[in-house]
Amino acid sequence: MLFFSISVSLLAAAGSVVAAPTLHHHARDRENGTLLLIGVNIAGFDFGCSIHGSCHLSQVTPPLTSLGGVDGVGQMRHFAKDDGMDIFRLPVGWQYLVNKKLGGDLDAENAGNYDQLVQACLATGSHCVIDIHNYARWNGKIIGQGGPSNAQFVSLWTQLAEKYAGTDKVIFGVMNEPHDVPNIDKWVETVQAVVTAIRKAGAKTQMILLPGDDWTSAEAMARGSGPLLLEVKNPDGSTDGLVFDVHMYLDSDLSGTHPDCVTDNIDFAFQPLATWLRSHKRQALTSETGGGNTSSCEKYLCRQIQFFHENADVFLGYTGWSAGAFNPETYHLSEVPTKKGNKWEDTALVKACLVRKPSTSG
């Protein structure tokens, strides 16, 4: 979730529109009106992780009935079969994967548990995002800037890339929501090191999501981390498969901590970002967005999603926050469907805005 705030005055700011060339896209050429990827987050393996990058493993709640949790597998099957979704983001804590051993090997049991979710996702035919949910940190200290070394972070990603190198539909989400990073140049060096390691580990073609500072804010990307992240390249010098990772919520301070929505984020965030992406022939994926199951969020989120469809040349898609192990009766941003007999019932917001509508299907 996003926790940063920006001034309310930005909500009224309009971005200028400029002409841009047609792009060649990561997976295939897209026409405006059809998003390549739509889906939701399936949370639970990230539970216990704070914005300081501390992860309390006792709070991890795997969304797997085989491990005593909720039926995240059934949720994904429903979303894919009934709602036309084709991407699921699977957040997980770094500490969980290595059982708190910084720089160590993937823990056989914990990584195996997480792999159950990845394999269930892949079995639906969907793309599956491996998301390290640590906010650019390990126990409060920033990667490559006084905390874990780049080599220790690269070790994690090398092992993950080797494990999933033969799986085209796995997407590598380098890091969830870096924030308050003191030296963005050093952070870009960290991201570059990870990209290079993933490719050299054999994952030559899979999509890699590039995270900037500022909680990966869509509003901040073009004027903040984006220009530096443009320089991140594959070992062959190309940018094929390197996609900007952005988040954006719709509540009063854009933090994703309130059930009501007040903006569609278009004029001050997504329109300027679309213009910037076109000017550099690049693309983004919105890996977190959402709101409460309220009329205001249905109004504004549906507008935002429609804008993505209308600008599908630069926006590959979105994953809403969140389904998985959240309690749908208490969590204000719940996208958790409810099973009634043999059928699943979506939340009001998912029904209204997030499912793939026939008019926009590819």
Catalytic positions are 177, 288
CA dist 270 and 237 (Å) reads 28
Tokens of 17: 């529109």
If we measure between CA atoms, which residue out of 10, 3, 4, 72 comes closest to residue 269?
10
3-class DSSP state of 288: strand
CA dist 237 and 231 (Å) reads 10
Listed in sequence order, the residues at least 6 apart from 123 whose beta carbon sits closer than 8 Å to its beta carbon are none
Listed in sequence order, the residues at least 6 apart from 334 whose beta carbon sits closer than 8 Å to its beta carbon are 293, 322, 323, 326, 327, 328, 347
Tokens of 135: 């906010």
Give 58's DSSP letter.
Answer: G
Residue that is written with structure tokens 């029904």 in the block: 351
